[in-house]
Structure 1
Amino acid sequence: MDHFIKLILLRHTKSDWTDPSLPDRERPLNERGRSAAAKMGEWLRSRGHLPDLVLCSDARRTRETLEGLGLPETQTEYRPDLYLADAETILSLARAQTVGCVLIVGHNPGIGAAAEMACTTPPVAPEFTRYPTGACTVVEIDGEPGRWLDFATPRDP
């Protein structure tokens, strides 16, 4: 990588488990998840973390999380390879991008592990290691690892 990139790593918000017959990939957000997505979108906008490109798992709950953020329309790729992807896959995809700011919407444990691997010094926040639904880390990377810029969960903003 020969340029800085701002990387936003967002775990999908709370999903709905009321219909056990749904395949995992098709689980929607629940009401709390929709509310949390709106909160995280507000937080991202207020902090100026606006992506030039979004890479989103093709699972229903990640797509609904992204939609709920209410971010300005931007180039978006819904990617099957981000569904339950591991940290190495997530970071490899991020480092392959040439835009200034990339948002990746994914799943734990991969998205939380990617956030941890992407930071030289992780944020001092008790929720960072747990990486709950809706958790979001912003990192500036130009190599391995990068510099932590921001972190929040839906309960913070």
Structure 2
Amino acid sequence: MSTMKTLHLIRHAKSSWKETSLADIDRPLAPRGIRACAVMAPEIAKAGCDFSNVFTSPAARARETIERIAGSLKKISFTWTVAEKLYTFNAHDLLEFCRDDLPANIEQAVIVGHNPAFHDFCNRVGDTTIEKLPTCAYVRLELDADSWTDIGLRRMQLTAFLTPKMFR
């Protein structure tokens, strides 16, 4: 009997470019990004996102995205792990993280990170092409398999795709 592996991807919310001297990794969220987190948090939870295993990029904008989503979900208490490898813009790095770094014994994982890694990853491993993966978008991909190492080309089913524009 095979199990199901479910990936929940949350692209970080809109970041601010106001402080031009800041390193990319240190850029905070813009006001629009902060609003998007508040709007998306209940929708992501309603869509069935399981927050028991959350991994985030160390970038300030990614950490702030999950902090604000958590802060908007008063009834759900969860923590997250900062994973250096998730500060990537490359789909192959993201795939390697999923295969090599996600604990084998977990069925669901939430990853907070960046484009173009997320967009390319979804279009590579998912069964549906996503035209655009905007900031603060949520994607759920499911895999009928026992192991994260089974993630491969077109193996995953896209079962949810939410963007902030849907809830304005």
Given the two structures, how large is their TM-score scaled by the length of structure 1? 0.87
Could you tell me how far apart the structure 2 residues matched to 1:148 and 1:68 are?
25
Q: Which residue of 2 aligns with 1:77?
A: 81
Letter in 2 for 1:154: P
CA distance 1:131–1:50, change in 2 (3 Å) = same
1:136 to 119, 135, 138: 138
User: Offset at 1:51?
Assistant: 2.5
Radius of gyration: which is bigger?
Answer: 2
The 3-state SS of whatever aligns with 1:155 is helix
Segments of structure 2 that go 5 or more residues without pairing to the other structure are none
Segments of structure 1 that go 5 or more residues without pairing to the other structure are 123-127
User: Offset at 1:91?
Assistant: 2.4
Could you tell me how far apart the structure 1 residues matched to 2:9 and 2:125 are?
10
- Equivalent residues of 1:10, 1:134 under 8 A apart: yes
Identity %, equivalent residues = 31
Letter in 2 for 1:82: L
Q: Which residue of 2 aligns with 1:28?
A: 28
Question: What is the correspondence of 1:85-100 to structure 2 with a 5 Å cutoff?
Answer: 85-95=89-99, 96-97=102-103, 98-100=105-107
The 3-state SS of whatever aligns with 2:166 is coil
Could you tell me how far apart the structure 1 residues matched to 2:142 and 2:44 are?
15
Could you tell me how far apart the structure 2 residues matched to 1:38 and 1:77 are?
21
Given the two structures, how large is their TM-score scaled by the length of structure 2? 0.82
Q: Which residue of 2 aligns with 1:148?
A: 158
Q: Which residue of 2 aligns with 1:46?
A: 46
| Bigger share in helix | 2
Could you tell me how far apart the structure 1 residues matched to 2:65 and 2:83 are?
15
CA distance 1:118–1:51, change in 2 (3 Å) = farther
User: Offset at 1:37?
Assistant: 1.2
Letter in 1 for 2:108: C
